[in-house]
Chain A
Amino acid sequence: MTRGRIRAKLRQSHLYTFTCFRQGTADAEAPHSFDGPGFSRIVYCNQPQVHSKKPLYYTSNNISTTKYNIITFLPKAIFEQFRRVANLYFLLAAILSLTPVAPFSAVSMIAPLAFVVGLSMAKEALEDWRRFIQDMKVNTRKASIHKGNGVFGFKPWQRIRVGDVVKVEKDQFFPADLLLLSSSYDDGICYVETMNLDGETNLKVKRSLEVTLPLDDDGTFNDFRATIKCEDPNPSLYTFVGNFEYERQVYPLDPSQILLRDSKLRNTAFVYGVVIFTGHDSKVMQNATQSPSKRSRIERKMDQIIYILFTLLVVISLISSIGFAVKTKYQMPDWWYLQPNNTTNLYNPKKPALSGIFHLVTALILYGYLIPISLYVSIEVVKVLQATFINQDIHMYDEETGNTAQARTSNLNEELGQVDTILSDKTGTLTCNQMDFLKCSIAGSAYGSGSSEVELAAAKQMAIDLEEQGNELSNFPMHKNSTGDSWNNTSALGATEIELETVVTSKDEKEHKHVIKGFSFEDIRLMGGNWSKEPNADVIELFLRILAVCHTAIPERNEEIGGFNYEAESPDEGSFLVAAREFGFEFCKRTHTSVHVRERYVSSGQPVEREYQILNLLEFTSKRKRMSVIVRDEDGQIFLLCKGADSIIFDRLAKNGRMYEEATTRHLNEYGESGLRTLALAYKKLEESEYSAWNSEFMKAKTSIGPDRDAMLERVSDAMERELILVGATAVEDKLQKGVPQCIDKLAQAGLKLWVLTGDKMETAINIGFACSLLRQGMKQICITVNPDVQTQDGKEAVKENILMQITNNSQMIKLEKDPHAAFALIIDGKTLEHALADDMKHQFLGLAVDCASVICCRVSPKQKALVTRLVKEGTGKTTLAIGDGANDVGMIQEADIGVGISGVEGMQAVMASDFSIAQFRFLERLLVVHGHWCYKRIAQMICYFFYKNIAFGLTLFYFEAFTGFSGQSVYDDWYMLLFNVILTSLPVISLGVFEQDVSSEVCLQFPALYQQGPRNLFFDWYRIFGWMGNGLYTSLIIFFLNIIIFYDQAFRSAGQTADMSAVGTTMFTCIICAVNCQIALTMSHFTWIQHLFVWGSITTWYIFLLLYGMTSPLFSGTAYQILVEALAPAPMYWCATLLVIVTCNLPYLVHISFQRSFNPMDHHIIQEIKYYRKDVEDQYMWTRERSKARQETKIGFSARVDAKIRQLRGKLQKKQSPTATNVQTPLS
């Protein structure tokens, strides 16, 4: 844990057991000697003007995270655009369309490309602009700078230069990397919060050099001069090497004097510092990594499809050009009407190979319609709109922080619908990092009637489930016995309507009553001084005294309320102090040697302030898992007060101190089960002589220098903390974020796996596991740890072997497990993980982890988080989602397929690195189950349809080629083709991609199983993709050949005219437009006015276009001049042909979907029907039953907990019944 988090004025370092003395008194005094590369930086303090010229000019403090600037935008953005293969192809096609090779006019190639590329670039520009604005916000922040003559004034951050002296006040960010000169504390320390850098919430102490301590006033900087020689900018956050030359002395510098940009000054009124690294030279900026650009699974598959289509394109182009070469060589000499002897190389029968090669280019351009040029841009438009919906979702708006969900990158929307594993951070994500004192057990009796969130939620869920259960098994006696009458009496329907969400709200209402932060205790027996009337009043008093005295916190007067706030090392401690205060033991003052507690409910009635002399403080470490203070009270009696993990304390109890052990253990188990963090409290009375003997030994250990010091201290402390007397135990709720258990439960029901990766220690992690129902009683916990004996005795190999053995043994155990309901939880710590993530072991580890219902990794470093994420992502090949709030989660967020950041808390690092940000963990459910599900289906359907329509259209061009001697003539007018992708078929498919809903959002939430359609990829598997492609092929064949046969040679109207190329082409094109638009209408299941407008509007637009186009000058419209008005519309044949073709094209799909719906309906089909016939209203019982069945089988979440309980009850019941009633039927077997 942190070492001194104590107010510096106290200079308490002598009190701290394990605090090392100021580092390196002997050896480090010598200045670092270095020169050469890597250590060339020289900073003249307080002389920034020196740094405005070469060679001492360093980068300004202006930062820029934009990708482009005004000059580079065009070339760079264009380059980015044409890195896409498809765009490059279209660019080539557009260039070639300027040559005679092109089958159509240049404008029809260039216009769509310009449109598509322009739109994408506009999007880029907008995004970059946003980044620019954000940079500007940072750059224009004001900081107080020494302006000369001891006067400080404000300057924007971007104008801070190296060498400036900066004054930073409490809760401000450091504008650059600074050398700490002095602080408001006498000994020049300050507290820094580095959340933005490493995600650690605890404060770090920085210490200035002794020599600069006097520089603690604005005026002293008037003639301050010093030189810093140090390392060059580098990304290492925890190292710094430099020398400080001041008053002709050279002092070495180390990282403890360096204040890093983007960290925050806490608990210190002000500090002075000298700027060393500015802007992009600062450590944090050096660390900035480009967030990797992520692409969704669907998009990657789409690329494969595009490659398939490219292959198809090349194949048919080759067929075409070979056909052309053959025709040109053997037949064209006979076609006198083409003047074959008078040709260019494009059609030269004497050089068929050359002509063939030219024609290949023509064909590649001509059949380019197979590759949907507008696909990328349409997808981009759709995703941006989808992202807007995510951003606008009012259900994901957090009232408290005022944050909405933000889709920061829109290209992963559909990936949200395919998530398989969630990797979550704990603190700040699952929990608020706020502790509430909830229960305690004193002298063997339990106090505190409040119930934890988990208990509340579980109780509610149990009520619902038992209700449903009960309805189903009305003849099953168990349920009456176990649940009592209350469930039965309530109207069945009413009760079942209770949503989990109501649990959350009820909890909310409750919270309004408890305004005291960190205290949710409810028990009249202890409140308001009533404890003194309890039978064990003296023990209770002692208990409360321990709470008030045994800690390392500092009180801080709160002027507004008049009470005290506590700056505690851990939130647990804070909650103890708050609790003690509420019970009447108010910790009010800490001096060098004593703690003052104001006791309110003493027999005299008047509050009394008692002083406890602190003799020794045995600090908390993760190894010791306990802390103690040795105090002398006002009566001169010496006590050792101790609190610690129950197992540790119980081991150290005296024989006469075990009076309450049994009862307390029972209570501790209960607390643990309801997800509370527990600590046991104990004390012992010391005789003066006993103490002084020990103390002298302790002092000896403490002042010793050398490697054994810690071990010695440990041994001495251990000797003291024995023979304790148990007083009681506390239960603190690590407050989960709102709705977390419910959300986890729902996500589990949707078939998602949740891994918790936390930097916390194992016990905390396990507690939270219980609180979130990731763990439960009856679950087999597999703890994989490094055996300390092995570690010390043998080398690394032995450790590895040991871990491997643990992994294989446990895997074996899981395999041999017969009970289908058995659930396993894997708990592993960072050290072990280091070995488990090694290449030769990670697959075994992953195998084991995948078999377990929950996985909790504790004490993991940010890097390990990323490595675990990578292991899951690559090892299982499934989509992973990482969610976290701190900078320590950045690696994992960037590594995962989808990174989600929790916004609203202070650090923005995670959010900045994330793909989506949400304000609270609970919004993840809606983000995945509703938006993810929708977006997945939308994008999948959209892409399939895109390929369908372009195949349907592109192939007709190919067929026609066979009838033109493969000459490269298109049957359609250039303008038709130009409009095909850009106008006539794009809007309906965009509306499909934006508005399609298979089921409403409520149903998505009610039937989490629907989510599984995504991870199982039911809508974008090859079967479906090829189905759609086949449909495209069929449609193209029908459209082309029916039209060709109908318009073969006969007059197509009563006036005797035969159809020419434009009539045939226009009819075919009408058929295509109508057929693909009808097709999309069949595909959609959700029509708002927008879809109606777009689908039917597209068909109408085509006719309007044809009409208008026909009205333009024949020089422009060519053969299409007045084609609709004069030729086609009056001809019944035209209408008959289009009707026939459209129906024929869509008939097979209609048959397919009718057949599928009738005989092999998917879940959403049935739910649609239920909704359509309002069966959910008529038969609410069925609806509720199905909703509860629609869950995936879960082994985590409180549903699982309830199931386990039900199984347990049923097991008991059957045991009871079997001897008496042999004819009991087994229900539901």
Chain B
Amino acid sequence: MDPNGGSSSAGAADGASDPAAARRRHSKKPKYSRFTQQELPACKPILTPGWVISSFIFVGIIFIPIGLASLFASERVVEIVHRYDTDCVPASYRNDMLAYIQSNETNKTCTRTFLVPKQMKSPVYIYYQLDNFYQNHRRYVKSRSDKQLRSRASENDTSSCDPEDVTANKSAIVPCGLIAWSLFNDTYGFSVNNTLLGVSKKNIAWKSDQQHKFGSDVYPKNFQSGGLIGGAKLNSSIPLSQQVDLIVWMRTAALPTFRKLYGKIEVDLEANTELTVVIENNYNTYSFGGKKKLVLSTTSWIGGKNDFLGIAYITLGGLSLFLAISFLLIYIIKPRPLGDPTFLSWNRNPAGHFNFN
């Protein structure tokens, strides 16, 4: 056929008798090494019934206690969830809640009371929970400037903050961006038997955020000064590193339903205490039908009330034990000795193979 010419004769040209060639040949012999010969020592674990059953049992034994422990911890958490978005709107505005919330004249203060069902050990964490609020929307998430938040020198670095980057006269907004602009601005005041309870805002934000991401020399500037007012205003005399509510808010939530830490009450709340909350209901969730909830919760080692984790662990542990038992039963009923050659394909299906008869 078509010879593939040219370079082809290169190999053929090496003279057989040439001693140099012979030497070269000699060196062509691959050196033996366990690596190149693919003979490296290896462990070749196989899934013996023993391994299978004991690993399932092991999973069961580990998972069920973890599940029980976390379920137990979760049970100990006392949680009060109080939805107030509708209730805090006066009856006359119920049909047009948006008008109520957008109006400057309406009285936004709203007082709610509820009973503490169980004793709540301090610290009692106060959360606000929003619903149907897309803090994870790409437009929203991107609209911030970490540089600007961090140091005063980068104050004008607002390129990523569109559309809330500069004021009408082109001076930078600090903090810029939609996230800061839409800062949550409902406030809660708590009192028991007409005694005000202090709401501590200490350590509600991540320490690293406060120390490294929000500059202590960056002060709010031109914030909420445009025609469109988003959410809360900031005290321009407090540096951003101290604006914990802002810091918490700016950790965008992963899901459209989220809770954020508002503060904490550092006294125990006894059971059946009547807790009075004075809510400044300012934040507009009415336009998109989002719920607002006030949540008081204690925590345990796994955090807040989270039965799912415990249940999942127990279920999985139980499933593992069930699998272990069923494998065990199957092995007892229909054992297959390991390495039994009768299971080799040529023994199971001799038709295609040698058959001396």
Q: Are B46's CB and A1163's CB within 8 A?
A: no
CA distance A392 to B39 in the complex (A): 12
- State the Cβ distance, B17 to closest chain A Cβ, in Å: 10
List the A side residues contacting B19 at CB < 8 Å. Answer: none
Given A138-B10, A288-B5, A1049-B259, residue A337 in contact with residue B254 (CB < 8 A): no
- How far, in angstroms, from A967 to B139 measured CA to CA in the complex? 8
- Which of B85-93, B103-111, B269-277, B282-290 lies at the interface with chain A? B282-290
B44 at the interface (CB under 8 A from A): yes
- Asked, given contacts A890-B3, A1051-B125, A1144-B316, whether A1061 binds B252 with beta carbons under 8 Å apart, the answer is yes
Measured in the bound complex, the distance between the Cα atoms of B164 and A1056 in whole Å is 31
Contact B208 A908 (CB under 8 A): no
The minimal Cβ–Cβ distance linking B1 to chain A, given in whole angstroms, is 3
Known: A469-B356, A891-B2, A1118-B146. A1175 touches B252 (CB 8 A): no
From known contacts A335-B134, A338-B139, A338-B178, infer whether A138 and B254 are also in contact, taking CB-CB under 8 Å: no
On whether the beta carbons of B32 and A967 are closer than 8 Å, the reply is no
Closest Cβ of chain B: how far from A199's Cβ, in Å?
8
Contact B316 A1140 (CB under 8 A): yes
Distance to closest chain A CB from B298 (angstroms): 9
Query: Which of A863, A964, A965, A1161 is B336 in contact with, Cβ under 8 Å?
Result: A1161
Q: How far does the Cβ of A1137 sit from chain B's closest Cβ, in whole Å?
A: 7
Interchain CA distance A1151-B320 in the complex, whole Å: 10
Chain A residue with the shortest CB-CB distance to B258: A1049
A1173 to B49: give the CA distance in the assembly, Å: 13
Q: A971-B254, A1151-B323 are in contact. Are A887 and B3 (CB under 8 A)?
A: yes
A888 within 8 A of B: yes
Contact indicator A911/B303 (Cβ below 8 Å): no
Q: Which of A262, A965, A1173 contacts B8 (CB 8 A)?
A: A262
With a cutoff of 8 Å between Cβ atoms, the chain B residues found around residue A1167 in the complex are 344
8 A Cβ contacts from B12-54 to A = 12-13, 22, 25-26, 28-30, 32, 36-38, 40-49, 52
Q: Which of A65, A135, A337, A906 has the most CB atoms of chain B within a 10 A radius of its CB?
A: A337
A1163 with B213: CB separation less than 8 A: no
Are B139 and A1056 closer than 8 Å at their CB atoms? no
Stretch at the interface among A47-55, A710-718, A1152-1160: A1152-1160
Q: Which residues of A contact B302 (CB under 8 A)?
A: 1052, 1054, 1132-1133, 1136
Question: A1143–B316 contact, CB under 8 A?
Answer: yes
> Which of A588-596, A652-660, A834-842, A1085-1093 is near enough to bind chain B?
A1085-1093
B225 to chain A, nearest CB (A): 15
A1046 contacts B by Cβ under 8 Å: yes
**Given known A1050-B306, A1051-B297, A1175-B339, contact A1090–B40 (CB-CB < 8 A):** yes
- Shortest distance between the CB of A293 and any CB in chain B (Å): 14
> Is the CB of A707 closer than 8 A to any CB of chain B?
no
- Give the residue name and chain of the B residue nearest to A820 (CB): B355
Choose one: B12, B49, B264; the contact of A1056 (CB below 8 Å).
B264
**B178 lies within 8 A of A285 (CB):** no
Q: Are B309 and A1137 in contact (CB under 8 A)?
A: yes
With A and B bound together, what is the CA distance between A1190 and B6 in angstroms?
46
| Cα A343 to Cα B143 with chains together (Å) | 12
| Contact of B28 (CB < 8 Å), options: A404, A1047, A1089, A1191 | A404
- Determine which of A960, A971, A1060, A1170 lies in contact with B341 in the assembled complex, contact meaning CB atoms within 8 Å: A1170
A69 in contact (CB, < 8 A): no
**B contact residues around A262 at 8 Å (CB):** 3, 5-6, 8-9
Interface residues as binary, A1036-1052 with B (CB distance below 8 Å gives 1, 0 otherwise): 00000010111111111
The residues of B that contact A135 with a CB separation of less than 8 Å are 6-7, 10
A753 at the interface (CB under 8 A from B): no
Q: Which among A401, A1162, A1173 is the interface contact of B338 at CB below 8 angstroms?
A: A1173
Chain A: minimal CB distance from B346 (Å):
5
A922 to B319, CA, bound (A): 53
**Is A795 in the interface zone, CB < 8 Å from B?**
no
The reply to whether A1163 and B344 form a contact with Cβ atoms under 8 Å apart is yes
Shortest distance between the CB of A723 and any CB in chain B (Å)? 46
Contacts of A995 in B (CB 8 A): 38, 40
Nearest CB in chain B to that of A1043: its residue? B254
Closest residue of chain A to B263 (Cβ to Cβ) is A1056
Q: Name the residue on B nearest A288 (C-beta).
A: B5
Given A282-B5, A402-B29, A1206-B356, CB of A1158 within 8 Å of CB of B327? yes
CB distance A289 to B40 under 8 Å?
no
Closest to A895 in B: B1
Q: Check if A471 is an interface residue, CB within 8 A of chain B.
A: no
Contact mask A252-293 → B, CB, 8 Å, 1/0? 000000000110000000000000000010101111110100
B242 within 8 A of A: no
Contact at A1054–B301, with CB atoms within 8 Å?
A: yes
Contact bitstring A163-196, B, C-beta under 8 A = 1, else 0: 0000000000100000000000000000000001
* Residue from the set A197, A261, A1088 with the largest chain B CB neighbour count within 10 Å: A1088
Q: Does B207 count as interface, using CB distance less than 8 angstroms?
A: yes
Say if the beta carbon of B318 comes within 8 Å of chain A: no
A969 lies within 8 A of B138 (CB): yes
The answer to the question of B147 belonging to the interface, with a C-beta cut-off of 8 Å to chain A, is yes
B residues near A1189, Cβ cutoff 8 Å: 344, 346-347, 353-354
From residue B142, how far is it (CB to closest CB) to chain A in Å? 8
Q: Are A1159 and B353 in contact (CB under 8 A)?
A: no
Q: With A336-B284, A1009-B345, A1065-B254 known to touch, is A291 a contact of B4 (CB < 8 Å)?
A: yes
Supposing A173-B12, A1133-B303 touch, asked if A1170 and B252 sit within 8 A by C-beta, the answer is no
Known: A404-B29, A912-B8. A997 touches B305 (CB 8 A): no
B72 on the interface (CB 8 Å rule)?
no
Measured CA separation A997–B26 after assembly (Å): 30
Q: Within 8 Å CB of A1061, what residues of B?
A: 135-136, 141, 251-254
- Of the listed residues A134, A1057, A1175, the one surrounded by the most CB atoms of chain B closer than 10 A to its CB is A1057
Chain B: minimal CB distance from A405 (Å): 10
Q: From residue B303, how far is it (CB to closest CB) to chain A in Å?
A: 4
Chain A residues positioned under 8 Å from B287 (CB to CB): 334-336
**Pick from B138, B164, B255: contact of A339, CB under 8 Å:** B164
Within 8 A of B (CB), among A1109-1167: 1114-1115, 1118-1119, 1121-1122, 1126-1127, 1131-1133, 1136-1137, 1139-1140, 1143-1144, 1147, 1150-1151, 1153-1154, 1157-1159, 1161-1163, 1165-1167
CA distance A1053 to B204 in the complex (A): 12
Q: Which of B113-140 contact A (CB under 8 A)?
A: 123, 125, 127, 129, 133-140
Chain B, residues 210-223, CB within 8 Å of chain A (1/0): the string is 00110000000000
CA distance A435 to B3 in the complex (A): 28
Interfacial chain A residues near B208, Cβ < 8 Å: 1114, 1121-1122, 1126
Q: Does A674 contact B (CB under 8 A)?
A: no
Q: Is A249 an interface residue (CB 8 A)?
A: no
Known: A903-B11, A1061-B252. A1046 touches B146 (CB 8 A): no
B28:A911 contact, CB within 8 angstroms: no
Q: Which residues does chain A contribute within 8 Å of B59, judged by CB atoms?
A: 1143, 1147
Q: Decide if B178 touches A339 in the complex (CB within 8 Å).
A: yes
Given contacts A1086-B42, A1115-B146, A1228-B357, contact A137 B8 (CB under 8 A): no
Given contacts A131-B7, A173-B12, A197-B3, A1087 and B204 within 8 Å (CB-CB): no
Does A964 contact B316, Cβ atoms closer than 8 Å?
no
**Cβ contacts B38-80/A at 8 Å (1 or 0 each):** 1011111111110010010001000100100010000000000
Chain A residues with CB under 8 Å of B11's CB are 903, 908, 911-912
A1001 at the interface (CB under 8 A from B): yes
Known A1046-B306, A1056-B264: A394·B137 in contact at CB below 8 Å: no
Given contacts A863-B1, A1050-B259, A1162-B345, 9 further A-B contacts (CB under 8 A): A137-B7, A404-B29, A469-B356, A1058-B260, A1154-B52, A1166-B340, A1172-B339, A1186-B344, A1192-B353
- In the A-B complex, the 6 residue pairs with the smallest Cβ-Cβ separation, listed nearest first, are A891-B1, A402-B25, A1050-B304, A284-B5, A1169-B339, A337-B182
5 A–B contacts from the bound complex (CB under 8 Å): A262-B5, A969-B138, A1056-B299, A1057-B204, A1185-B341
